[in-house]
Every structure is written in C-alpha cells, then in structure tokens.
C-alpha cells in the first residue's frame, strides 16, 4: 500500500487510534507488526511469505552468531550463510532473468538457449534484504546484540513506513526504539505531519506532474529538439529527487507521528559542489550502507590510491546494479564510480583549496550537475539505444519538435530559487515551527494544491521497482 | 539509562526541548487560533489562485428552443488542463465568436464533440471563427459559421439536435467533424454500437440536472470561482476513494507508448460498414440540408518514438468516403492537408505545450487548416458562396 493512496491514510488513522487506545507496549508493537504485514500483503499477499521467511532465517542466523560466542569459524560460517541466503534471494528474484538474458547474448550465437523464469519482483526486496544483511553483519561485528524477540525483529524488518523504499535503517538505530515503550505525543504528531505533508507535496504535486512530460520525451527519444530534451532531463532529475525524497519524507513523517525516528535520506543534493558531496547528500542511507558494508570491507582507501579508485568503481557499479537489473543502471553506477575516483584524484593532486573560492565552487557545482544529470539519462532510459538518442539530442543533433512544458519550466525555476536559498542557509524547517502561522499556511496550502490539482493517472514511486 | 533510551534521548532532546518550550510559552487557545487562522489563509490563497490554474466548472441551462442543455449566456470557460484558453458563450449556448447571425447572412453549422467545442483554443482561433473570417469582406460577414460542439457528443446527438438547429439557423449545409481517435465517434458507444445487429439511437441526458442546479445557484450568487478549488478537491478525493480498489492494481513507470486501440482493430468490418451506413442514413433523414462528413485522422501522430505519417486507418477512410459518395453525402478527408502542412512547417496540428504535441485535441494550427478545407469545399460546391 502506498502513502499516496487514500486507503493508506484511512488505515493509518485507524492504526493511530489503536495505538492511542491500547496501553500495553507489547500489544502496540504487535499491532504495528500486523499493520506492517497487512500493508505489505495488500499489494500481493503471496509475497508476505517471502518476507516472513527472510525475517525468520536472518533472525535464526543472528541468534546462532550470538550463541557461537568466541568460535570464529562458526560465526564466520553463519555470516557467510546469511550473505549467501540474502544475496541468493536478491539474485533469484531480481537478477536471475537479467543474467540469463545477458548470457543469452553470448550463448545465442553458439546455438545454446537458456530459459528465463516467469517471476515477479517482490516489492521492497532490495531494501529489506540489505537491512537484514546489515543486521547480521552488525551482530557478527559485535555492534549489536542479537534480538531475541522474533516479533520485535520482524517489526524491525517489516516496519511499514520504510519497508518498501527505505530509508535503509540500521538495527542499531531502530531496534532499540522498538524495544521501548514509545507513546504518541503532540510534538511528534506535528513534526511527522509536517514532514509527511512536504513529502506528499513533492511526490504528488511536483514529481507526478513532471512524470507526464518526462515519460513522453523518454518514450519518444529523438523526436524532440535539444532544448526540450534538456528540459526533460533536468525535469527528470527534479522528478526523481521529489519522488524519492518525497517518499523518504513520508516514511520519516509517518514513523515520527507514531513516535519513531528514522534517519534522513536526502540533504539538498543538488547544491553539491563535488560528486563526493553529492553522494553524502543523495540517498544517504544507501551510500552509507555501501560505504560500511562494501567499500570499507573491500579495503576502502587503506590500500593505496589505485586500489581506492578500483574500490570506488566496484562499489558504484554494484550500487548501480542494486537499483535495477539492467546494464543501463550498471553504466550509471560506472559513470558515478569514475566521477568519484576522478574527484579523489583531483583532490589528491590539487588539495582542498580549489573548492574554497566562489569561482571554484561554482565550477565544481557545474561539473557535478553535468555528471549527475547526464547520469540520469542512463538511469531513466529503458535501453542504451534510447539513452544515446537522448544524449544525441542533448549534445550533438538538437533538431526536432519543440516542447517547452510550462509546468516543467516553472518547477525548474522554483527549484533553482529553493536551492539558492538552501545554499544560503535561508530555508530551514525551523521556519515551520508549530507556533508560527507560517506552518499551517504552508502545510494547508500544500494539501489544497495536492487535492485540487492532482496528476493525471496514478504513478507509483520510482524507487518501488528497485 | 539503557542503550535504547540513550538513543532516543540523544535524538529527541533538541527537538523536544524546542517544541516543549514553545508549548510552555503558548496556551492551547493560541494554537487553535494559529492553526485555524492558517487554514483560513491557506484556503483563501488556494481560492485566490485557483481560477488562474484550474479549468472552469461548467454551468448549463435548459434551452426550450433547442431541446437540450446549453451553456448559460455569459458563461466564460477557462481551459487550463490542455491548452490555455478562454471561450465566451452567449445566447443559445453559442460561442460569442460565432453568434446567431444577422438576417441575410448565410450560415453553415459545424457539428462535433470536444474537438469542435475546442476549449483548448481561444475564441478567435476556433474553426467556426476562422471559417467566418475566411468569407468576410470589407462590408462585413458574408457567411457565418456556427459551431455546435459539445464534449462527449456522438453522431446520435447530432441526429437528435439537427432539426432544432436547422429550424433556427437555416444553414447552407452541415459539416460533421470526425476528429476523435480511430473514427470511433462516428458511432455512439464505439464498437458496442457497431456490434449491435439492429442499430438504434437512444437520447441520453448529457448533464446531471442536480449538479447543474447547484452550479446555477453558485453562479447566481457569483460564487462559482470561490468554490472552484474546494469543489475540485472534494471531487478528486471522492473519485480517489471510489477507485480505491483500482489504484493498487496499477503499477508502471508511466505511459510509454500510444496504446489506444482503433475501432476497426476490434470490430468486424461488415458490422462497422453497416453501422456507418445506418448512421449516415439517419443523419440524412434528420436534415433537410446537405451533410458533409469531415474526417480528421490522427496524422502526423507521435507514436512509439517517432512522428508517424501513416494513418493506420487509411483504408477505412477510403471506405467511408465511398459510403458517403454512394449515399449522396459530402466528404472531406484532411489526411493530405495535415501531412503537407507538417512536411512544410515541421509543426503538428494536434496537441499543446501542456499536453503532448502531436496528440490530443486540435491546436490553433489544426483549426486553421480545417477551416481552410471547409472554405474550399464551400467555394467548390456552393456557387453563391465565394
């Protein structure tokens, strides 16, 4: 069930009433778990079994690691079992057909054919698998004690605000909160409502309305002229930011209304003056996950400069593939990996002084945005053919039909203004305090806009497919 | 303090302190006032900007002369969803750009659905205004084109309304414009009509009288702009709630290709031809003046990654032309006109910047091309109209 569906709002209000009425903390947590499973099963109840199975296996493995004490071999074996299980699950449901089809390109000319599986990608599998895997690794590292209460652990994995599209929450952050007697409070309700409203506005009023324009230009790549194509690519950058950060805001807001804190996932990524800074601001929970559970175990920057670049590249290619089983995502990851390695190289050669001057910062911002928005072409295009058609219109042959969508232009201008204000530290959430009239004016205005000017059709969150 | 409590305490304290301080400073009454006041201001802002960005709510009245609902005199329609235009209405629900003609001025009637209602373009850009302009000389109008177009109308509606309009305006001829996708609008109810062995027209009300009554009251009180945003919000919310079970079954990145099916893809060709013959015969029986069907195919069309210059229904267009010839009905095929214009100018005759170029309703260019062909037809077939 999606946050922007009316049934979610209705059921969430019912759940809140339940949480307010029921006094027993244990019972409240069970209610939360039941609601989480219900929201997940609402999409397709058969996949709930997979979620519960994954929860159970990781729960048992973590208990096993805890019970193994100082037996290094046994702990390691269990850790490997967990990694194999989780990656195997991802591999089967998300990557099997992709690799088989890729293999088919090689084996096809030899007369060999390998069949694909007719399976559906379980929603949120990339998110909950990473979350479960990180939990087992943290238990193995001794950062957290294994959770003994299965239902608490199940709630940690299935906690509905962040189950299907993140933020990817660490066990060290969420499990302790789930073991506490968290009660509803007005200040949490206000802060959660505020963040939820902002997220809903980003998703429904901006992202979904941009989607109509962006989808058409990408589906008809090569038809529209260079300026229109540039506009669509910039609009897609805004769309995916508003879509995903909107989802994260709604997730964080929903959890906050119930008294739980989830980590922030975005921090104005388009003000970044380097690609390294961009990844500190974009999908923060994924980039920190990749850093802690992939980049650092690969050796990070501890094994020399050349190895650092290779590690960055590997991390980003795999990060790209995490987003989707397609070579276009791998290409997107490679582009970012190369850019990160390049940024490290420039940093090592020129030192950090280059970024201090306003001119240097502006230059860095321009280069960063050029890389990021060119990267979005591979991220969004369903095939290399379409991606190159788009790039051709952007950089080489700009002829075609003009389509300067007024809403896309308006949003683009508004985003520039917002980002200038953010960069100047003049636009913070503290301005929307509960005792300032600006809060209800801004929040209710957003609701009016969302309700009176809905997008055409129904657009699920972009990150649901990941 | 346990680890968990520490996590919560560490994370919550700054925010809790701020909010708690604020709460301590202010009473509950203060918050109620602030939030109610904020709601009122936000609502006023939404109501204030609404008329600029939202399309108008339609207000009709019953016309005894025509025997159907028409836009109330003085109604102004703003279109914001597709295109950005304003249409003004006068007596008998006629756009003020093509009012009831002065005596002595000859008329033609242009029938159609939303393509002829044409809320997407301004008054002066609509086909009827263009056609009238084409016959204007220094002394003034020599011919007045009157558009009789309403959203969702089909040939059945033309059949029922033709006698009344003919009596009122005594036109030289009737242009019946078929611009909807796939010639569907030639048959009321599309393929269902074509699949029924004994075709029949059923007159159905186009306007919900209860809703229209509310709109009339709001207009009388000059409140239609005030309620615009709340009305749309409630309407959208009610629709979402009604469709709750549907929403969860959808799930794709968005529209990627042109998926509409064509009428002729789905129906038996003999049935389609029979239904068209039935429709043409009925139109002829209802009218005393010549009927001219105007086929406006979807070319050039933005389809699957390119601008298509092929009309997938070209063969059907030819059959329709033959059928019209056999039954003594005029026929204008816009295919070549639209294609020539695209080849010459590189511009498409359908679609808008805030819609999709190449798809949807006719834009100002499309209306102009249509009027040019109609004018040429009139000059060719009516000796006294030059």
Query: Which residue of chain A is at minimal alpha-carbon distance from B15?
Result: A187
Structure tokens that stand for A104 in this block: 């088919």
The greatest distance separating any two alpha carbons of chain A, rounded to the nearest whole angstrom, comes to 72
Nearest Cβ partner for B3 among A42, A176, A219: A176
Gap between the Cα atoms of A173 and A176, Å rounded: 7
Residues B164, B67: contact at Cβ < 8 Å? Answer: yes
Residues A212 and A173 in one domain: no
The greatest distance separating any two alpha carbons of chain B, rounded to the nearest whole angstrom, comes to 100
Angle made by CA atoms A456, A457, A459, in degrees to the nearest 5: 110
3-state SS, residue A31: helix
Nearest Cβ partner for B38 among A180, A403, A439: A439
Residues A175 and A291 in one domain: no
Query: Which chain A residues are closer than 8 Å to B233 by Cβ?
Result: 448, 451-452
Query: Which residue of chain B is at minimal alpha-carbon distance from A466?
Result: B253
Residues A130 and A205 in one domain: no
Residues A404 and A432 in one domain: yes
Structure tokens that stand for B86 in this block: 């304003």
Tell whether A207 is covered by a domain: yes
How much is the pLDDT for A52?
92
Nearest Cβ partner for A223 among B12, B46, B307: B307
Query: Which residue of chain A is at minimal alpha-carbon distance from B357?
Result: A403
Last residue of a domain, one of A183, A207, A233: A183
Angle, helices A208-219/A384-391, rounded to nearest 10 degrees: 100
> Measuring CA to CA, how many Å separate A283 from each of A55, A158, A241, A256, A319?
24, 20, 10, 19, 11
- Helical residues (DSSP H) of A258-295, grouped into ranges: 275-281, 284-290
Facing residues of B108 across strands?
B145
Range of the domain at A296: 190-465
Tell whether A43 is covered by a domain: yes
Which of A361, A215, A334, A321 lies closest to B305 in space, CA to CA? A215
Angle, helices A46-68/A150-158, rounded to nearest 10 degrees: 130
How much is the pLDDT for B268?
63
The phi and psi torsions of B60 (rounded to 5 degrees) equal: -115, 165
Gap between the Cα atoms of B230 and A137, Å rounded: 52
Gap between the Cα atoms of A64 and A82, Å rounded: 11
Residues A233 and A315 in one domain: yes
Per-residue tens of pLDDT for chain B, all 386 residues: 443 444 444 444 444 445 555 555 678 888 899 999 999 999 999 999 888 888 888 899 988 888 888 899 989 999 988 899 999 998 888 887 766 677 678 899 999 888 999 999 999 999 999 999 888 876 666 888 999 988 878 787 888 889 999 998 899 999 999 887 555 556 655 555 555 555 666 666 678 888 889 989 988 888 888 888 888 888 888 887 777 654 444 433 222 233 344 454 555 677 778 878 888 888 899 999 999 999 998 888 887 778 888 887 788 888 889 999 999 999 999 999 999 999 998 889 999 998 888 888 999 999 999 999 999 999 999 877 66
The verdict on a CB contact (< 8 Å) between B305 and A454 is no
Residues A178 and A196 in one domain: no
Count CA atoms within 13 Å of residue A53 on its CB side: 9
How much is the pLDDT for B363?
94
Last residue of a domain, one of A135, A157, A183: A183
Gap between the Cα atoms of A100 and A115, Å rounded: 7
As to burial, measured by CB atoms within 10 angstroms (0-12 exposed, 13-18 middle, 19+ buried), residue B340 is: exposed
Identify the active-site residue in A323, A347, A405, A419.
A323
Query: Which residue of chain B is at minimal alpha-carbon distance from A42?
Result: B248
Strand-strand pairing, B76-79 and B136-137: unpaired
The verdict on a CB contact (< 8 Å) between A176 and B255 is no
A·B CB contacts under 8 A: 171
The verdict on a CB contact (< 8 Å) between B15 and A191 is yes
Residues A176 and A229 in one domain: no
Residues A120 and A46 in one domain: yes
How much is the pLDDT for B25?
65
Query: Which chain A residues are closer than 8 Å to B14 by Cβ?
Result: none
How much is the pLDDT for B266?
53
Residues A189, A153: contact at Cβ < 8 Å? Answer: no
Q: What is the pTM of this model?
A: 0.85
Residues B180, B173: contact at Cβ < 8 Å? Answer: no
The yes-or-no answer on residue A347 being catalytic is no
- Helical residues (DSSP H) of A23-124, grouped into ranges: 25-41, 46-68, 72-90, 96-107
Structure tokens that stand for B231 in this block: 């009305």
Residues A244 and A151 in one domain: no
**Shortest distance, CA B195 to any CA of chain A (angstroms):** 30
Query: Which chain B residues are closer than 8 Å to A183 by Cβ?
Result: none
Facing residues of B61 across strands?
B70
**Shortest distance, CA B111 to any CA of chain A (angstroms):** 29
The verdict on a CB contact (< 8 Å) between A177 and B18 is no
Query: Which chain A residues are closer than 8 Å to B241 by Cβ?
Result: 6
Residues A98 and A179 in one domain: yes
Tell whether A250 is covered by a domain: yes
Residue with tokens 């599309």: B190
Strand-strand pairing, B106-112 and B143-149: parallel
The verdict on a CB contact (< 8 Å) between B43 and A448 is yes
E strand spans, A185-233: none
Residues A204 and A323 in one domain: yes
Residues B226, B217: contact at Cβ < 8 Å? Answer: no
Q: Which of B353, B359, B365 to mutate to test the interface with A (most CBs of A within 10 A)?
A: B353
Gap between the Cα atoms of B21 and A293, Å rounded: 41
Gap between the Cα atoms of A164 and A166, Å rounded: 6
Tell whether A199 is covered by a domain: yes
The phi and psi torsions of A353 (rounded to 5 degrees) equal: -65, -30
Tell whether A279 is covered by a domain: yes
Residues A149 and A199 in one domain: no
* Whether residue A167 has a cis bond before it, omega within 30° of 0: yes
Query: Which residue of chain B is at minimal alpha-carbon distance from A461?
Result: B253
Structure tokens that stand for B137 in this block: 């000389």
Tell whether A1 is covered by a domain: no
Collect all residues with Cβ–Cβ distance below 8 Å to B64 and sequence separation of at least 6: none
- The DSSP string of A388-436 is HHHHIIIII---SB----HHHHHHHHHHHHHHHHHHTT---GGGG-TTS
> Measuring CA to CA, how many Å separate B330 from each of A86, A109, A370, B186, B299?
70, 59, 58, 15, 21
Residue with tokens 């390691």: A76
Domain count, chain A: 2
Tell whether A381 is covered by a domain: yes
Per-residue tens of pLDDT for chain A, all 466 residues: 677 777 888 889 999 999 889 888 889 999 999 999 998 888 777 888 889 999 999 999 999 998 887 888 889 999 999 999 998 988 888 777 777 777 777 777 777 776 666 777 788 888 889 899 999 999 999 888 998 989 999 999 999 898 877 788 888 888 888 888 778 888 889 999 999 999 999 998 999 999 989 998 998 888 899 999 999 999 999 999 999 999 999 999 999 999 899 999 998 899 999 999 999 999 999 999 999 999 999 988 888 888 999 999 999 999 998 888 888 999 999 999 999 999 988 888 877 655 578 888 889 999 999 999 999 999 999 889 999 999 999 998 888 888 999 999 999 999 999 988 887 877 777 788 888 899 999 999 999 999 988 877 656 555 555 5
Tell whether A450 is covered by a domain: yes
Count CA atoms within 13 Å of residue B197 on its CB side: 0
Q: Is A181 left (phi over 0), alpha (psi -120 to 50) or beta?
A: beta
Gap between the Cα atoms of A366 and A361, Å rounded: 9
Q: Which helix (H) or strand (E) holds A240?
A: helix A226-257
Gap between the Cα atoms of A135 and A141, Å rounded: 10
> Measuring CA to CA, how many Å separate B24 from each of A185, A194, A268, A398, B27?
15, 20, 33, 61, 7
Angle made by CA atoms A149, A150, A153, in degrees to the nearest 5: 90
**Shortest distance, CA B318 to any CA of chain A (angstroms):** 29
Residues A407, A209: contact at Cβ < 8 Å? Answer: yes
Query: Which chain B residues are closer than 8 Å to A219 by Cβ?
Result: 255-257, 304-305
Last residue of a domain, one of A149, A164, A183: A183
Gap between the Cα atoms of A156 and A163, Å rounded: 9
């Amino acid at each position: 069930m999606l946050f922007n569906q009316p049934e979610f709002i209705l059921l969430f209000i019912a759940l809140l009433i339940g949480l307010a009425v029921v006094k027993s903390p244990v019972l409240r947590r069970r209610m939360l778990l039941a609601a989480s499973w219900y929201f997940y099963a609402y999409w397709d109840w058969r996949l709930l079994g997979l979620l519960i199975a994954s929860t159970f296996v990781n729960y048992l493995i973590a208990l096993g690691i805890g019970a193994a004490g100082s037996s290094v071999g046994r702990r390691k074996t269990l850790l490997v079992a967990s990694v194999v299980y989780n990656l195997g699950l991802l591999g089967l449901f998300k990557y099997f057909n992709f690799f088989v089809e890729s293999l088919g390109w090689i084996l096809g000319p030899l007369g060999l054919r390998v069949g694909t599986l007719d399976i559906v990608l379980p929603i949120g599998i990339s998110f909950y698998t990473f979350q479960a895997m990180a939990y087992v690794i943290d238990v193995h590292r001794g950062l957290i004690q294994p959770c003994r209460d299965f239902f608490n652990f199940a709630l940690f994995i299935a906690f509905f605000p962040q189950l299907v599209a993140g933020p990817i929450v660490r066990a060290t952050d969420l499990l302790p909160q789930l073991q506490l007697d968290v009660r509803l409070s007005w200040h949490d309700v206000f802060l959660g409502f505020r963040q939820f409203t902002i997220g809903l506005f980003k998703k429904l009023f901006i992202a979904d309305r941009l989607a109509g324009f962006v989808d058409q230009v990408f589906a008809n790549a090569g038809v529209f002229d260079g300026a229109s194509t540039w506009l669509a690519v910039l609009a897609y950058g805004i769309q995916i930011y508003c879509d995903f950060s909107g989802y994260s805001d709604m997730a964080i807001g929903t959890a906050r209304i119930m008294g739980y804190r989830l980590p922030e996932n975005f921090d104005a990524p388009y003000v970044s003056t380097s690609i390294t800074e961009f990844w500190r601001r974009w999908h923060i929970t994924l980039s920190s996950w990749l850093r802690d559970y992939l980049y650092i175990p690969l050796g990070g920057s501890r094994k020399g400069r050349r190895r650092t670049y290779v590690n960055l590249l590997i991390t980003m290619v795999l990060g790209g593939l995490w987003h989707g089983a397609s070579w276009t995502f791998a290409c997107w990851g490679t582009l970012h990996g190369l850019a990160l390695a390049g940024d490290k190289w420039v940093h090592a050669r020129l030192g950090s002084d280059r970024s201090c001057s306003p001119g240097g910062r502006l230059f860095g911002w321009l280069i960063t945005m050029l890389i990021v928005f060119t990267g979005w072409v591979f991220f969004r295009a369903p095939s290399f053919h379409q991606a190159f058609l788009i790039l051709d219109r952007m950089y080489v042959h700009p002829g075609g039909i003009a389509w300067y969508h007024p809403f896309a232009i308006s949003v683009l201008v508004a985003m520039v203004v917002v980002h200038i204000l953010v960069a100047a530290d003049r636009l913070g959430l503290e301005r929307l305090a509960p005792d300032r009239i600006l809060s209800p004016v801004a929040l209710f205005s957003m609701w009016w806009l969302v309700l009176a000017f809905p997008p055409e059709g129904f657009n699920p969150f972009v990150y649901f497919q990941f | 303090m346990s680890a968990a409590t520490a996590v919560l305490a560490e994370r919550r304290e700054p925010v809790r302190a701020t909010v708690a301080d604020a709460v301590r400073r202010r009473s509950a009454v203060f918050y109620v006032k602030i939030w109610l006041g904020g709601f009122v201001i936000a609502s006023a802002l939404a109501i204030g900007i609404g008329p600029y960005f939202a399309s108008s709510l339609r207000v009709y009245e019953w016309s005894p002369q025509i025997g159907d609902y028409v836009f109330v005199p003085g109604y102004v329609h703003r279109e914001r969803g597709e295109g950005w235009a304003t249409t003004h209405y006068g007596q008998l629900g006629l756009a003020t750009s093509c009012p009831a003609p002065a005596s002595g001025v000859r008329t033609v009637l242009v029938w159609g659905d939303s393509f002829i209602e044409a809320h997407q373009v301004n008054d002066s850009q609509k086909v009827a205004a263009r056609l009238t302009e084409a016959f204007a000389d220094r002394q003034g109008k020599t011919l007045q084109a009157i558009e009789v177009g309403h959203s969702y109308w089909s040939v059945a509606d033309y059949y029922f309304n033709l006698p009344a309009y003919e009596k009122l305006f005594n036109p030289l001829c009737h242009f019946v414009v078929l611009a909807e996708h796939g010639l569907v609008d030639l048959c009321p109810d599309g393929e269902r009509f074509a699949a029924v062995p004994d075709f029949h027209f059923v007159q159905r009300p186009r306007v919900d009288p209860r809703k229209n009554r509310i709109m009339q009251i709001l207009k009388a009180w000059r409140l239609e702009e005030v309620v615009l945003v709340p009305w749309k919000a409630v309407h959208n919310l009610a629709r979402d709630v009604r469709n709750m079970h549907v929403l969860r079954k959808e799930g794709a990145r968005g529209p990627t290709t042109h998926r509409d099916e064509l009428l002729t893809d789905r129906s038996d060709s003999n049935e389609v031809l029979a239904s068209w013959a039935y429709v043409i015969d009925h139109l002829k029986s209802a009218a005393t003046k010549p009927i001219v069907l105007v086929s406006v195919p979807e070319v050039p069309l933005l389809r699957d990654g390119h601008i298509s210059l092929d009309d997938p229904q070209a063969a059907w267009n030819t059959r329709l032309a033959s059928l019209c010839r056999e039954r003594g009905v005029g026929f204008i095929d816009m295919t070549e006109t639209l294609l020539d214009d695209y080849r010459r100018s590189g511009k498409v005759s359908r679609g808008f910047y805030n819609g999709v170029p190449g798809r949807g309703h006719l834009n100002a260019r499309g209306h102009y091309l249509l009027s040019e062909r109609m004018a040429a037809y009139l000059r060719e077939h009516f000796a006294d109209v030059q």
